[in-house]
Amino acid sequence: MTTDAKTALLRAGIIGWPVGHSRSPVIHSYWIARYGIDGAYDRYGVPPDQIEAFLGRFSDHGLIGCNVTLPHKQAAFAACDDVDEVGRTLEAVNTLWLDEGRLHGANTDAYGFLANLDQAAKGWDKNPGAAVVLGAGGAARAIVWALFSRGFDPVHIVNRTVEKAESLAAFFGTGTRAHAWDALPGLLQTANIVVNSTSLGMAGNPPLEIDLAPLPETSLVADAVYVPLETSILKAARARDLVAVDGLGMLLHQAVPSFAKWFGKVPEVTDELRAHVVADLSKDG
């Protein structure tokens, strides 16, 4: 990997394994150019058996900070000297930065989820009620916390492996309930919001096939998946005239606090940025 601690260039990046699919470089490089910052943002593949050593010697890599993606978010949390409140609650961080030799961490995934809905579906949380989250992985953990933070209660966690839903519900405690997939039709009847945080529907994976007919007509449907942008669940929601929000906005918004922390400028999520990233995604066919 490129390391040059002596250069004036502000160097950030993303660590993960694999990391080649990440669009974070497209987003941050756009903002670096847009705001005329003397910076760079690259991908750094770090295998699981090297992550502890990589994080333990973070200051050796010439990075002012980095994003963290699968499967390293928990390892990054464990390696930090200081972690923000959300990261401490979720026990996972996606943003790291050095300050006077100390490694700081934050979790901006929940912020990204909320900021996306605030921008794309204004007033979406005015009357919070029941929420249904499909999936019980890393994205679900951030999304369940985010929904709680806006007053949604109960938050139903529905997952193929019900034990993982139970474990996530136990992690959050009161207000969350774990369910197997076959409970969905009943849960949808009272859901104000449904969020897909499984990898179903993502390019290369089977589609997410659920019947949205039981949902009330005021419900919102959101997907964390952003490749493709228009997933089958979003198409089904639009066919019912429900508000439907894709996952790209979450990705764009979670990058905002990271960029601000490293480069000292709060960047904007604009239609132009979105179009720029969509164009890059379309290269994958």
Is 163 flagged in the annotation as binding?
A: yes
Q: Is 94 annotated as a binding residue?
A: yes
Residue 204: partners with Cβ closer than 8 Å, 6 or more residues away: none
Determine if 23 is a binding residue for ligand NAP (CB under 6 A). no
According to DSSP, the β-strands at 39-45 and 10-16 are parallel
What is the C-alpha R_g of the chain?
19
95 near ligand NAP, rule: CB under 6 A: no
DSSP-derived secondary structure letter, 17: S
11 is in an annotated binding site: no
Catalytic residue selected from 6, 73, 122, 235: 73
Biggest CA-to-CA distance, the chain: 60
Interface residue with ligand NAP, options 37, 55, 120, 140 (CB under 6 A): 140
Enter the tokens of residue 71: 């499967």
In the residue annotation, 73 being an active-site residue is answered as: yes
Pairing mode of beta strands 102-106, 95-99: antiparallel
Q: Distance between CA 214 and CA 99 in Å, rounded?
A: 51
Query: Does 69 belong to an annotated binding site?
Result: yes
135 is a site residue for ligand NAP (CB under 6 A) = yes
Instruction: Report the C-alpha gap between 31 and 18 in whole angstroms.
Output: 24
Closest approach of ligand NAP to the CB of residue 78, in Å: 17
Residues in contact with ligand NAP, shown as a per-residue x/- string from 52 to 81 under the rule CB under 6 A = ------------------x-----------
We find the least distance from the C-beta atom of residue 83 to ligand NAP, in angstroms, to be 19
Q: How far apart, in whole angstroms, are the C-alpha atoms of residue 144 and residue 121?
A: 18
Q: Is 116 annotated as a binding residue?
A: no
- The values of phi and psi at residue 57, to 5°, are -120, 40
Pick one of 105, 112, 154, 257: the residue that binds ligand NAP (CB under 6 A).
Answer: 112
CB of 123 to ligand NAP, least distance (A): 21
Q: Among residues 266, 262, 264, which one has the least CA distance to residue 98? A: 262
Regarding 231 and contact with ligand NAP (CB under 6 A), the answer is no
- Token pair for 265: 């400028």
Structure tokens at 246: 């894709």
- Tell me which residues in 169-228 interact with ligand NAP (CB under 6 A): 197-200, 202, 206, 224-226
Nearer to ligand NAP, 218 or 270 (CB): 270
Binding site for ligand NAP (CB under 6 A): 70, 109, 112, 135-140, 159-161, 164, 197-200, 202, 206, 224-226, 247, 250-251, 254
Residue numbers in the known binding site for shikimate are 22-24, 69, 94, 109, 226, 254
